[in-house]
Structure 1
Amino acid sequence: MKKSVILIAMNLLMCLNMSAQNTFNVSGNIIEKETGEAVISATIQLLALPDSSFIEGTVTGTQGDFLFKSVKKGKYAVKISYIGFTTRYVDVDLNTQKSRNANIGYITMSPDAILLKATEVTAHASKVSVSGDSLIYNAAAYRVPEGSTLEALVKQLPGAKVDSEGNITINGKTVSKILVDGKEFFLNDKSVAMKNIPTEMIEKLKTYDRKSDLSRVTGIDDGEDETVLDLTVKKGMKNGWFGNVNLGIGTKDRYSERFNVNRFNDDFQATLLGGANNVADQGFGGGGGRWGGWGGGLRTSKEIGANFATDKPKLESGGSIRYRYDGNDNENTSSTESFNATKGKFGESFNKNLSSNNRVNSNFRLEWKPDTMTNIIFRPNFTYSRNRGMSNSLSGSYDDDPNLYTNYALGYNDQIAMVSNGGTLDPANTVLNNLMNIVTNTNTNYGQSYSTNTNFNGNLQFNRKFNNQGRNLTLRINGGFNEGRNKQISAANITYNTLGTTQQNNRYYYTPSNSHNISAQITYSEPIADRTYLQFSYQYQYSYSKNDRRAQVYDSQAYQNLAQSLTNNRYNINAVLKFMEDTGYLLRDTTALSQFSEYRNYNQTINLSFRKVRESYNFSVGIDLLPQRSTLNYKYMGHEYPEVTRNVFNFAPRVNLRWNFDKQTNLNIRYNGRTSQPSMTNLLDIKDDSNPLYITKGNPSLKPSFSHNINANFNTYNADAQRGIYSWLWFNTTRNSIDNKTTYDANGVRTTMPMNINGNWNGGGGFGYNTGLGKEKAFNLDVDLGGSYSHNVGFYNNAQSDNDNTDIKSITKTITLNPELELSYRTENINIALNGRLDYRNSKNNMNSMTNQNTYDFSYGAEFEWTTPWGSAINTDIGMNSRRGYAQREMNTNELLWNAQLSHSFLQGKALTVMLEVNDILGQQTNISRNITALMRSDSRYNAIYQYGMLRVVYKFSIFGGKNAMGTDNERSANYGGRGGWGGGWR
């Protein structure tokens, strides 16, 4: 009997096992074709083939997912239907299926054009919403050209501005980091995200003030918030790979190529990117490139990088590694005028610099939470760089403006040198005769440089909570080292016209350097009342640095050969040295130009602060006490100075107040004070004349300086009205500020020496307002007004002898105003914007009214974008840039800048886009800049290519779960027929 029972049980188990082997689980995900978002509650039916009989049905979940369990072998069709969308069918053949889990991947659904036409409803995507203290922008409400990156999208956000340096401000707040789904993207490098993240992956952009690392782990708000831009990835683009390839070739040998491959899901992120361009597009530009040109020089860049982030219950990790090459070809012509009344008042210079820079850097972050009360964060980073450079420069100093006599005075440098060295002056050469009457000195210089640098740093933070009321102990350990090698070689021909002499300097420098540092900090916070804390921290830091410049020279007769070799041997100092040796010129050591310095610093920081945290405000007051001991060993010009030891005591008070009127309205007021000591080399009584035209001296009489900095910021946002208001005020002043006094001798030689100066201060403020207009907020008005005032004091001396110590005080007062206005209209297919900006500058100097400035740089223009129903898009912008009020007539210019782009998208899901763009169609953009200080003004012109055309091809692809998320051959239309196949696809 017992045997019979066992046999029956075994037969039953075998039957169940055979039954299980003949059943399968069929699953998949449904997403919208245009947006990539999950389709929730879509009806899914499993139909048997060939008669399409109904087997079972279900609906999709919140992720657009569905699952049929225990499906028998056979051929089936999965029917997907949803109101307003075209019904889809997908074939499933389980006869040949080996795995029990048959996942058909991501299936897209397209809107039913006929049905939608019968039930058409006009709607506009919500542009901005508020959640807690976060401002959330809906990416779908802002149209950008196909192939665009994050930068193009951010520039369209109300209240957002991106300057020429890539700095981002939103409603007056500066964005310090860009996150993707809450995780750092390439850590602190915002430009990588701005230039590479494709806009089609972004569902929302959230901006908010994120707490500091210390605040997040201790639970105590330390007031050190940072404004971040957090990107939300579309759900339909998670759990798969996607990216794009952007290739561009243009006129005048311009090109721009880039690619990126991404994978984002809830607990893992990965990005691989790269590219190359010579259109000065730092970090690889957005769709259509960077219109309007850039600063000086012709630039070439190449880059490849990778980023990752993981998120486990107790362990978060992330990091990035990048390689970048930058090549620059810069030509700069400048004209200067010093605010003194005698020798060398005017200056002319021409500089041509070539550089080749290679850099590898990596950053990583590891955060471990072994339990709810303990947190450990480790942040290591590594950088290696190799830089090579070549230069050729011409300069001259004059007692009068040489531009009154010729358009290019520097072209006469060789003739001036010949005459000054005893040559004959041709009376018929009027220009040369005039220049000889006003020239003080000239300099012709050739040079090359080569350097390498290795840097490693690490930061470890350990925090332990003792309770949930704010009692914490934090330990921070930092360490790093740096090692560098630098080579420089130059040939200079200097003429002193007043002395009638010339001087040739042929010099080679080799400078090894290294430094290292380590610090430890312990912080303890104690709750002394409800949400009121007393915090104490102590830090000890030791740092060491050594720099050993070893100088060698050639005889003056070697100038011509060295200059020729520096020109002929591109980026090759070793070849130059070999050529000079083969020619018979030998280097000899010189202690007169060698320099050795060795620093040791022992710093302590004692901090005591009081903090009170409430729902409506956060107040803190504290002070840093900074005792410091420093030693310096110094050798220069063959003289070894006795070891210098300095003990100083600095302090830095601070007060912070943040008042929260509500989640989106706050006022921040900050005060910081700080004592600063002059550098130890500035305190040495030495004279550095390694550059005979620009000599530097030390000043043992320097005193420490103390600076006061006050900032106030107000922000508010009304989501219903889509209206933001922000304002800011700031003021800085320094007592005993350390700046250079400049002395001009009879030969036009400039000698600078640091000294304490009082009277330097500046301040400013501004106001911003942006609001949506109209019932649907299709219009947006953005107004911004900023201004500043500066009071700069400087000293100079027109010494005709070493005993002339009469200092002249120069004061420059400058007012700037920068109003800006933009009115835009944005719909699903049309973007129109009108904008205007004024940069007003009024500058007055007490010593020379001829150099006073009252200038207006203003611009106004329009932007237009139209996306047609048949997949084409037209983008164009036109603007007038004008300058007025400059003393030089050639600087009062009008530049009408017009850029345009035409694109058309092909293939399913607009996967392929071809675009033609033309920059500066009218060829009117110029390359002029001006700068003014208390002691001088400078006008510069630089080389650049602004006008060019470019043809671009952008291809987008995506692979989700082994299937093409945007439609593959295994999907069929509602006209059911034919058979699709398995397998993934590329979009």
Structure 2
Amino acid sequence: GGNTYGRSRNYGKETESWIMSMNTIKKNWTRTKLEILPQFTYYKNTTNNLVQSATLSVAPNEKYRGASLDSLFASPASKQLKEAMLNQLSDHQLNRMRYYDGNLSGQIQWKMPQSPDGIILKTENRYFNKKNENASIYDLNYKNGVQDFRNKYNDKWNLNLRTIWDACYYYNGNIDYKYRFSAGLKYTHIYDKNNNDLFRLDKYAEYGGASNVGVGYLPSTRDSLQRAIDADNSFRSHINKDRYELTGNTPSIKLPVFGLHAFLSPGVNYRSERIDYTRGAYKKKMTRNLWSLEPTLFVGKDNCHFKYNVKKVLPELTDILDITTTDNPLNLWSGNPNLKNTDIHRIDFFRGFYKYNENFTSRRAIEIKAYWQLMRNAIGQYVTYDRNTGVVHSTPMNINGNWDMGASFDFNGILDKKNRFTLSNRTEIGYINSVDYVAIEGESGKDPRSSVRTAKANETVSLDYSFGKYSFGAKLRCAYIHAEGSREDFKTINTADVDYGLNATLELPLKLRLFTDITLYSRYGYSDKSMNTNNLVWNARLERSFGKFTVMADGFDLLGKLSNVRKVINAQGRTETWYNTVPRYAMLHIMYKLHFKPKR
């Protein structure tokens, strides 16, 4: 029915500062071990951004990236682009944010006298306090000449408290460690409080589109600010979540086949969740309680096992409220009170082969892994899209048909008796059936479900050779993707990414050490020809130590061959996007090592 094309860019300046403390305290007694982990973080951030974007009905013919935006925001704007424009947005944003994050976790383990049995008590406690102030001068223009100008100020505050207590008794069985089991109870409480006030300062003429007022400029009195509140997009919420879990494992049972053993984790859960929510005239108090069985079955022997487990995921309480947010006119969102819980079924297989030397360190290791996963009542975003304006309206809805499977083979080992050659190899294959909603306004008669089937194969191998202070290596990575879709407009995807290169570590005169690697990145089969590229990237690091000081000089992409455009294809195969980056740089590090020995 016709494509639409988007262009956007973001000019930003960001400053941030933080202080973080992470500590570990341990104490051991004869039968008791204690560990305490206090952590604290203070973070402050300020950003000043200018966002410019446009949605067009035809693909712009650009001589350089961003040319269409330059033309649209020039004065006078390009007539040809104006005719193709569906919407044009300029958004000047000023954001201030700070938070305190404190966490106190720990555990105590007590062994019973004259017994290998014991009790473990774990706890984790978090305090998170976040304050956001966002100001925005938002100027949106549609093709029909309608302007939506908004001078917004958003005052947000979030308090999150979480406490987890987990008590477990473990029985280690008889002298041969048979019939071992464990039983415990885990309690989790989460309190989340949100105050979100959105003010529309453009209600006052002096803050309107003709005022040229600066972003973040506020009225002088609190009363004037309160009279400008956007009640329908301001909200208060109090959420309490309590969860009780019966943890532990049953005794292992010997099966009459291949000497296998099996045990079960019952996974009995009870959840009680409450929300008190206010948005404008909408008020809602709601409680939901759920008993669930989320077992894990383990069957195995030595280095071989199967594992099957079930998980139940509840939709967020705010997703099941009957509300619609309109603070962003190009992206509307509505809740869905009919959302169901999501069930995830997963099977894992593992087989390992290991060879050790006389010191019981691994000399060679082979690991084979496989999995299968199915999601029932997964939550997708049902999106309606207006081609005439570029407005997106999304609603969470349940959808079935999502499943995936995969397998991998890993080898890591030393190849020779002198321990000089090391080979690493990883082979992966996978299949994904991704189902989501795709809908266009006015085309409701078409099936909104989109199913994309993707097969993947990856191969990564590296060979390293080392002697003394010198080492050399070679590496190769190949990734292949084949995707087919049920939509009529879906084009089959067959792409391959191939990377191969060399690396070395060398001792140079004057006590210098050189670390260097060179890699060729190649891409094939993409429908956008600009994605089929070959980029030769050379990186190097030069290092020198002076007592406790270490000086390092880094050079990334010394040849300047890496494109500043990265493109990806998402799970639904719908988009090929690019991100501007800074690929080439040099950096100098100066480090000083501190080491304090405790007094005895």
TM-score of Structure 1 vs Structure 2, range by shorter chain: 0.7 to 0.9
DSSP-derived class of the 1:641 partner: strand
CA deviations on 1:313-350 (whole Å, 9 max, x unpaired) are xxxxxxxxxxxxxxxxxxxxxxxxxxxx45x6332221
Look up the match of 1:842: 482
> Identity of counterpart residues, as a percentage?
22
Q: Over alpha carbons, which structure has the higher Rg?
A: 1
* 2:149–2:209 CA contact under 8 A, matched in 1: no
1:439-478 per-position Cα deviation (integer Å, ceiling 9, x unaligned): 3222211111112222333335444444554544444444
Distance 1:915 1:938 in 2: 38
Pair 1:543-2:190 in alignment = yes
Counterpart residue identity of residue 783, structure 1: N
Which residue of 2 is the match for residue 482 of structure 1? 128
Residue aligned with 2:572, SS? coil
| Residue of 96, 99, 102 corresponding to 1:456 | 102
Secondary structure of 2:266's partner? Answer: strand
1:676, distance to aligned residue in structure 2 (A): 1.5
Residue equivalent to 2:524 = 884
TM-score after normalising by structure 1: 0.54
* Structure having the larger proportion of residues in strand: 2
Mapping of 1:37-48 within 5 angstroms?
none
- 1:390-432 Cα offsets, whole Å, 9 max, x none, are 222122223332347985322244469x88xxxxxxxxx5xx3
Q: Return the match for 1:653 from 274, 295, 304.
A: 295
Contact 1:810-1:935 within 8 A present in 2 as well: no
- Does residue 723 in structure 1 map to residue 381 in structure 2? no
CA contact (8 A) 2:72 2:82 kept: no
Residue pair 2:120, 2:168 contacting (<8 A) in 1 also: yes
Aligned-partner residue type, residue 546 of structure 1: K
1:403–1:817 Cα change, 3 Å: farther
Deviation track 1:122-141 (CA, whole Å, cap 9, x = no partner) reads: xxxxxxxxxxxxxxxxxxxx
Name the structure 1 match of 2:422.
780
Q: Deviations over 1:857-878 (max 9, x none)?
A: 2122222344357745555432
Counterpart of 1:516 in structure 2 is 161
Aligned partner of 1:681 in structure 2 is 318
In the alignment, does 2:275 pair up with 1:632? yes
Structure 2 unaligned spans of 5+: none
1:83-124: CA deviations, max 9, x gaps?
A: xxxxxxxxxxxxxxxxxxxxxxxxxxxxxxxxxxxxxxxxxx
For residue 577 of structure 1, give the secondary structure of its aligned residue in structure 2. coil
C-alpha distance 724-504 of structure 1, shift in aligned 2 (>3 A): same
**8 Å contact 2:62–2:68 — kept in the other structure?**
no
Counterpart selection for 2:376 from 735, 745, 759: 735
CA distance in 1, matches of 2:37, 2:253: 29
1:763 aligned onto 2:388? no
- Among 240, 245, 250, the alignment partner of 1:600 is 240
| Structure holding more helix per residue | 1
User: How far does residue 508 in structure 1 lie from its aligned partner after superposition?
Assistant: 0.5
- Measured in 2, the distance between the counterparts of 1:932 and 1:831 equals 38
Partner of 1:671 in structure 2? 308
Tell me by how many angstroms 1:621 deviates: 1.0
Q: Choose which of 580, 591, 594 in structure 1 pairs with 2:231.
A: 591
In the alignment, is residue 387 of structure 1 matched against residue 45 of structure 2? Answer: yes
C-alpha displacement of 1:737: 0.7
CA contact (8 A) 1:470 1:525 kept: no
Please list, as runs of the form range in 1=range in 2, the aligned pairs for 1:827-976 lying within 5 A after superposition. Answer: 827-849=467-489, 851-867=491-507, 871=511, 873-900=513-540, 918-927=555-564, 928-934=566-572, 936-948=574-586
User: How far off is 1:799 after superposition?
Assistant: 1.7
* Amino acid corresponding to residue 543 of structure 1 in structure 2: I
Aligned residue for 1:411, secondary structure, equals helix
Q: Where does residue 491 of structure 1 map in the other structure? A: 137
Residue type matched to 1:350 in 2? Answer: R
| 1:506–1:774 Cα change, 3 Å | same
Shift of 1:687: 0.9
Residue in 2 that maps onto 1:554: 201
How far apart, in 2, do the equivalents of 1:643 and 1:875 lie? 61
- Give the superposition deviation at 1:818: 1.7
The answer on whether the counterparts of 1:821 and 1:837 sit within 8 Å (CA) in structure 2 is: yes
Q: Is the 8 A contact 1:413 1:444 kept in 2?
A: no
Deviation, 1:485, is 1.4
1:959–1:440: structure 2 CA closer, same or farther, 3 Å change rule?
closer
CA pair 348-462 structure 1, distance change in 2 beyond 3 A: same
Structure 1 residues 947, 371: closer, same or farther in 2, change over 3 A?
closer
Aligned with 1:532: secondary structure?
coil
Change in CA separation of 1:526 and 1:807 when aligned onto 2, cut-off 3 Å: same
User: Would the alpha carbon gap of residues 360 and 612 (structure 1) be closer, same or farther in structure 2, given more than 3 Å must change?
Assistant: farther
Rounded to whole Å, the distance in 1 between the matches of 2:228 and 2:572 is 42
Aligned-partner residue type, residue 509 of structure 1: N
Contact kept in structure 1, 2:21 and 2:39, CA below 8 Å: yes
Per the alignment, do residues 413 and 669 of structure 1 end up closer, same or farther by CA in structure 2, a change over 3 Å counting? Answer: farther
Q: Which residue of 1 aligns with 2:451?
A: 811
Partners of 1:834 and 1:483 lie apart in 2 by: 48
SS in 1 for 2:476: strand
1:141-194 Cα deviation digits (max 9, x unpaired) = xxxxxxxxxxxxxxxxxxxxxxxxxxxxxxxxxxxxxxxxxxxxxxxxxxxxxx
Cα offset, 1:382, TM superposition: 2.5
1:541 CA drift (Å): 3.6
Structure 1 position 543, deviation (Å): 2.8
Q: How far apart are residue 947 of structure 1 and its match?
A: 4.3
Contact 1:831 1:865 in 2 (8 A): yes
Query: What's the CA shift for 1:492?
Result: 1.1
2:500 is the alignment partner of 1:500: no
Residue by residue over 1:558-614, the C-alpha shift from the partner in whole angstroms, topping out at 9 and shown as x without a partner, is 366887734xxxxxx5xx337x99xx9997222122111111223222335304399
Q: Contact between 2:562 and 2:583, CA under 8 Å: does it hold in 1?
A: no
Measured after TM superposition, the shift of residue 658 of structure 1 is 5.4
Alpha-carbon separation, structure 1, partners of 2:102 and 2:338: 37
Counterpart position of 1:352: 11
**C-alpha contact (below 8 Å) 2:517/2:540 kept by paired residues:** yes
Q: Deviation digits for residues 486-517 of structure 1, max 9, x if unmatched?
A: 111111111222x4312111111111222323
TM-score, structure 2 normalization: 0.86
Partner of 1:789: 431
CA RMSD of aligned residues (A): 3.6
| In 2: Cα distance, 1:595 partner to 1:922 partner | 53
8 Å contact from structure 2 (residues 202, 209) kept in 1: no
Highest relative contact order (Cα 8 Å, sep 6+), 1 or 2?
A: 1
CA distance in 2, matches of 1:648, 1:438: 52
Q: Cα 1:700–1:879, aligned 2, differ >3 Å: closer, same or farther?
A: same
Q: Check the 8 A contact 1:554/1:586 in 2, yes or no.
A: no
Partner Cα separation in structure 2 for residue 860 and residue 563 of structure 1: 55
| 2:152–2:202 Cα contact (<8 Å) kept | no
Question: Which residues in structure 2 correspond to 1:422-437 (within 5 Å)?
Answer: 432-433=79-80, 435-437=81-83
Deviations 1:241-288 (A, max 9, x none): xxxxxxxxxxxxxxxxxxxxxxxxxxxxxxxxxxxxxxxxxxxxxxxx
CA distance in 2, matches of 1:829, 1:669: 43
Residue in structure 2 matching 1:820, options 454, 460, 469:
460
Q: Deviations for 1:740-768, whole angstroms, at most 9, x for unmatched residues?
A: 11111242211111111111112222112
Q: Residue type matched to 1:930 in 2?
A: V
Per the alignment, do residues 892 and 536 of structure 1 end up closer, same or farther by CA in structure 2, a change over 3 Å counting? same
Structure 1's unaligned 5+ residue stretches are 1-340, 420-428, 567-572, 661-665, 962-987
Q: Map 1:306-325 to 2 at 5 A.
A: none
Give me the whole-angstrom Cα distance separating, in 1, the residues matched to 2:597 and 2:267. Answer: 54
User: CA 1:887 to 1:647, structure 2 compared with 1: closer, same or farther past 3 Å?
Assistant: same
- Tell me the secondary structure at the aligned position of residue 944 of structure 1: coil
